[in-house]
């Protein structure tokens, strides 16, 4: 009797196991009915929703909460049941788990934060059920609503690479991924180097403008699930598409193996930086060190001396010949939301700055940033600026002018470059060699944003080179260390100097105080490293130490000899 029962219970476990193995063997995925709404959780979910979610997603779930018209990635409208990040096929409803993951991890690059740690797991599960109940155009219990798992077939990471940076993926896979990208014309929307600069005319299902993802900013991938460099996320999105957007799925066109390679390529573009777990953004490099350059500084962006990777040098080791190049410093930008015409939807969210200097040629600051499209309207030019305290010598301690164009007591010195691309239209196909830029340099002084005015002294700042290349603006500023201008910043070496950056996206009609800003950073002109002197000193110190050792040996031997000769008596205990 007992034995029989045991056998049966074993069978109970074995049968489904066998079945699932068979299933996995024959068909990779099956249509299953959509996850039903769990009615018992709605009441709890409603409580969470009306405290936490209603502010963006609105009372009815239309995505019309108070915040919505000042957000560029608009809050999701739940009515249509259209959700971007899923494991199901294009057009299908999401699984409960997909929505739970979205609420848990948030959607980086948008206003949707991660809710893990803020509300409990039970609350997340409950609010997901409530959100499903807000869907009006579709029924979760409709027979026609099925879900096809399109992601499980991807299997585990084929290279066994691990986070956070996934640097173990072989270069061949990445190179093949690039070919797959070209063959499937991903560049038509995402641009030649993946900066999302392909198509300025796209709309989402609700008719709102939408931009293709910038692959070089993987920390802004909505579906990154707080694991920004993991190629799985890209492979998943390629398999499922993004509902409600022009992004289709490529399941039929690209094999599983190739989807992984494509994902490896996409992720390889993203600079490896230390990502702040709380904000999902790289940690800014608060000190911009200008490298002292022996010999001539070549004022050409394409010159090898200016080529260095964006990756953090501690994460990815530099090639031998670039080891002593200046670091590319990550500068975070945000909208100017303090004064006047506020900018809630800035288009550039970071800058990369590297710098070199020497006494004869002065300082060179190479400022680079990604912006998908440039303006061709002279009224609203693309522009970028470096801001300095105009009266550095008058500042006491940590004191600085107000970071948005100074204040009444402390003026700023602004070097602004307005850029107009030649032979360019936003709808052009990717152009390998990039676009030349017409540059107008202005030198301005400000005592607050309303008082910004051109200087009347001689122009001193030059833009020596500028280019717009595959969605990346590169501008190289140059100036002598000191000038005659009374309101020019005078730049001393080996001193921490406050510096800030501003950017105007002319394509989106940004002008004047309607701009993107950074906070104050520091820059320093690193002194020339006199290796000869340092080497001599090291040898002298080493030599002195050798002498010291010799003296020690002599002293010890002498003491021993004195013991041996009986001149000095060692204490009597046995040795």
Partner 1 sequence: MNKSFLSCILAVAGWAVFHYGLLPIFTPNPLGWVLNPYVYFLIFCAYLIIVNVGMRLNPPMALKAFYVWMLGYYFYDAILLPHIPWTLFITYMMLWSIGVFLYISQDPTTFREFRSPIVKTIVGEYKIARIVVFTALPVLVGFATWNTLYPKFAEPVELRTVHPAPPSTTKVHGKTYKLEEIGNPFRTDEQDNYKDSFPFLDKTEYMKNVTEGGTVFFENCHFCHGDQLNGLGMFSHAFNPTPANFVDPGTIAMLQESFLFWRVSKGGPGLPNESTPWSSAMPPWEEHLTTDEIWKVILFEFWYTGHHPRTFDTEGSVSE
Q: Which of 27, 398, 453, 564 binds partner 1 (CB under 8 A)?
A: 398
Cβ nearer to partner 1, comparing 46 with 138:
46
Cβ nearer to partner 1, comparing 319 with 552:
552
| Region of 32-40, 44-52, 426-434, 466-474 interacting with partner 1 (CB under 8 A) | 44-52
| Region of 25-33, 142-150, 435-443, 547-555 interacting with partner 1 (CB under 8 A) | 547-555
| Region of 23-31, 33-41, 274-282, 458-466 interacting with partner 1 (CB under 8 A) | 274-282
Site for partner 1 in 152-211 (CB under 8 A): none
Residues present in the chain in total:
575
The verdict on 323 binding partner 1 (CB under 8 A) reads no
The verdict on 315 binding partner 1 (CB under 8 A) reads no
3-state secondary structure of 551: helix
Site for partner 1 in 89-148 (CB under 8 A): 110-113, 115, 118
3-state secondary structure of 518: coil
Residue 330 Cβ, how far from partner 1 at the closest point, in Å? Answer: 10
Which residues, including other chains, have CB under 8 Å from residue 256's CB and lie 6 or more apart?
153, 154, 155
Query: What is the distance between the alpha carbons of residues 59 and 465, in angstroms, rounded to a whole number?
Result: 52
Query: What is the distance between the alpha carbons of residues 237 and 233, in angstroms, rounded to a whole number?
Result: 6
For residue 272 the two structure tokens come to 């490896």
Cβ nearer to partner 1, comparing 348 with 437:
348
3-state secondary structure of 425: coil
| Region of 301-309, 427-435, 481-489, 539-547 interacting with partner 1 (CB under 8 A) | 539-547
Cβ nearer to partner 1, comparing 58 with 421:
58
Q: Which of 11, 287, 319, 454 binds partner 1 (CB under 8 A)?
A: 287
Site for partner 1 in 61-100 (CB under 8 A): 65-67, 70
For residue 482 the two structure tokens come to 């000191």
Q: Which helix (H) or strand (E) holds 446?
A: strand 435-446
Contact between residue 422 and residue 437 where contact means Cβ atoms under 8 Å apart: yes
Cβ nearer to partner 1, comparing 254 with 353:
353
Site for partner 1 in 476-495 (CB under 8 A): 494
Q: Which of 7, 14, 33, 50 binds partner 1 (CB under 8 A)?
A: 50
Q: Which of 234, 242, 262, 333 binds partner 1 (CB under 8 A)?
A: 333
Q: How open is the CA angle 142-145-149, to the nearest 5 degrees?
A: 150
Site for partner 1 in 500-519 (CB under 8 A): 517-519
Cβ nearer to partner 1, comparing 483 with 518:
518
Q: 244-278 burial string, b = 16+ CB within 10 Å, else e?
A: bbebebbbeebeeebbbbbbbbbbbbbbbbebeee
Q: Which of 84, 132, 190, 281 binds partner 1 (CB under 8 A)?
A: 281
Q: Which residues are registered as beta bridge partners of 417?
A: 384, 441
Cβ nearer to partner 1, comparing 110 with 184:
110
Residue 78 Cβ, how far from partner 1 at the closest point, in Å? Answer: 16
Site map 407..446 versus partner 1, x via CB under 8 A? x--x------------------------------------
Instruction: Give the closest residue to 415 by CA, choosing from 455, 355, 470.
Output: 455
Cβ nearer to partner 1, comparing 159 with 344:
344
Q: Which of 250, 402, 415, 435 binds partner 1 (CB under 8 A)?
A: 402
Alpha helix segments (H runs only) across 228-278: 231-240, 256-268
Instruction: Give the closest residue to 387 by CA, choosing from 331, 306, 471, 311.
Output: 331
Cis ω before 466 (30° cut-off from 0): no
For residue 269 the two structure tokens come to 């573009």
Cβ nearer to partner 1, comparing 51 with 509:
51
* Distance between start and end Cα atoms, the chain: 83
Contact between residue 288 and residue 296 where contact means Cβ atoms under 8 Å apart: no
Cβ nearer to partner 1, comparing 9 with 570:
570
Cβ nearer to partner 1, comparing 291 with 372:
291
Query: What is the distance between the alpha carbons of residues 355 and 363, in angstroms, rounded to a whole number?
Result: 7
Q: Which of 172, 399, 438, 486 binds partner 1 (CB under 8 A)?
A: 399
Site for partner 1 in 343-362 (CB under 8 A): 344, 349
The verdict on 454 binding partner 1 (CB under 8 A) reads no
Instruction: Give the closest residue to 271 by CA, choosing from 289, 285, 256.
Output: 285
How many residues contact partner 1, by CB under 8 A?
Answer: 75
Cβ nearer to partner 1, comparing 12 with 560:
560
For residue 179 the two structure tokens come to 């070919």
Cβ nearer to partner 1, comparing 206 with 522:
522
Q: Which of 16, 33, 209, 543 binds partner 1 (CB under 8 A)?
A: 543
The verdict on 539 binding partner 1 (CB under 8 A) reads yes
Residue 161: count other Cβ atoms within 10 Å of its Cβ. Answer: 19
Q: Which of 179, 557, 562, 568 binds partner 1 (CB under 8 A)?
A: 557
3-state secondary structure of 415: strand
Alpha helix segments (H runs only) across 140-226: 171-183, 187-190
Residue 286 Cβ, how far from partner 1 at the closest point, in Å? Answer: 5
Cα–Cα distances in angstroms (integers) from residue 198 to residues 238, 239, 468, in the given order: 18, 21, 14
Cβ nearer to partner 1, comparing 373 with 449:
449
Q: Which of 458, 549, 562, 568 binds partner 1 (CB under 8 A)?
A: 549
Q: How open is the CA angle 30-233-171, to the nearest 5 degrees?
A: 115
Residue 516 Cβ, how far from partner 1 at the closest point, in Å? Answer: 9
Q: Is 497 left (phi over 0), alpha (psi -120 to 50) or beta?
A: beta
| Region of 48-56, 156-164, 436-444, 503-511 interacting with partner 1 (CB under 8 A) | 48-56
3-state secondary structure of 18: helix
The verdict on 40 binding partner 1 (CB under 8 A) reads no
């Amino acid at each position: 009797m007992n034995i029989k029962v045991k056998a049966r219970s074993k069978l109970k476990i074995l049968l489904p196991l066998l079945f699932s193995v068979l299933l996995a063997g024959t068909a990779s995925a099956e249509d299953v009915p959509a996850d039903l709404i769990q009615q018992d959780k709605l009441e709890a979910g409603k409580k969470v929703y009306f405290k936490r979610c209603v502010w963006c997603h609105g009372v009815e779930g239309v995505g019309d909460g108070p915040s919505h018209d000042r957000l560029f990635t608009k809050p999701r409208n739940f009515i249509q049941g259209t959700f971007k990040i899923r494991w199901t096929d294009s057009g299908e409803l999401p699984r409960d788990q997909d929505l739970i993951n979205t609420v848990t991890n948030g959607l980086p690059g948008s206003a949707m934060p991660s809710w893990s740690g803020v509300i409990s797991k039970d609350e997340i599960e409950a609010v997901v059920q409530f959100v499903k109940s807000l869907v009006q155009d579709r029924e979760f219990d409709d027979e026609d609503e099925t879900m096809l798992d399109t992601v499980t077939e991807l299997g585990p990471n084929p290279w066994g690479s691990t986070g956070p940076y996934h640097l173990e993926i072989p270069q061949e896979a990445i190179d093949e991924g690039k070919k797959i990208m070209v063959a499937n014309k991903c560049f038509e929307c995402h641009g030649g180097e993946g900066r999302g600069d392909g198509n300025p005319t796209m709309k989402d299902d609700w008719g709102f403008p939408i931009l293709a993802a910038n692959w070089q900013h993987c920390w802004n991938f909505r579906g990154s699930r707080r694991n920004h460099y993991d190629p799985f996320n890209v492979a998943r999105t390629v398999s499922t598409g993004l509902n409600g957007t022009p992004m289709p799925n490529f399941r039929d066109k690209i094999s599983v193996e190739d989807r992984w390679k494509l994902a490896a390529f996409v992720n390889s573009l993203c600079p490896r930086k230390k990502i702040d777990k709380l904000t999902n953004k790289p940690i800014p490099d608060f000190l911009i060190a200008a490298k002292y350059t022996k010999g001539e500084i070549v004022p050409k962006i394409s010159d090898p001396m200016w080529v260095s990777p964006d990756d953090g040098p501690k994460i990815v080791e530099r090639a031998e010949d670039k080891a002593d190049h200046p670091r590319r410093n990550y500068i975070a930008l945000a909208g100017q939301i303090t004064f006047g015409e506020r900018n809630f939807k800035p288009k550039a969210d970071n800058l990369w700055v590297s710098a070199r200097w020497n006494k004869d040629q002065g300082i060179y600051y190479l400022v680079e940033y990604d912006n998908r499209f440039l303006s061709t309207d002279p009224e609203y030019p693309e522009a970028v600026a470096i801001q300095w305290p105009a009266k550095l010598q008058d500042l006491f301690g940590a004191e600085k002018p107000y970071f948005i164009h100074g204040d009444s007591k402390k003026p700023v010195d602004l070097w602004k470059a307005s850029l107009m691309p030649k032979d360019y239209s936003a709808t052009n196909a990717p152009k390998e060699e990039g676009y030349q830029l017409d540059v107008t340099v202005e030198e301005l002084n400000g005592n607050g944003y309303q008082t910004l005015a051109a200087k009347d002294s001689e122009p001193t700042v030059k833009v020596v080179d500028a280019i717009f290349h595959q969605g990346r603006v590169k501008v190289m500023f140059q100036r002598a260390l000191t000038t005659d201008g009374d309101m020019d910043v005078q730049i001393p070496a080996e001193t921490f100097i406050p510096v800030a950056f501003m950017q105007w996206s002319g394509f989106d009609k940004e002008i004047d105080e309607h701009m993107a800003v950074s906070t104050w950073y520091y820059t320093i002109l690193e002194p020339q490293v006199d290796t000869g002197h340092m080497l001599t000193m090291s040898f002298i110190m080493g030599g002195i130490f050798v002498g010291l050792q010799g003296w020690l040996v002599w002293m010890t031997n002498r003491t021993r000899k004195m013991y041996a000769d009986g001149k000095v008596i060692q204490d009597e205990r046995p040795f």
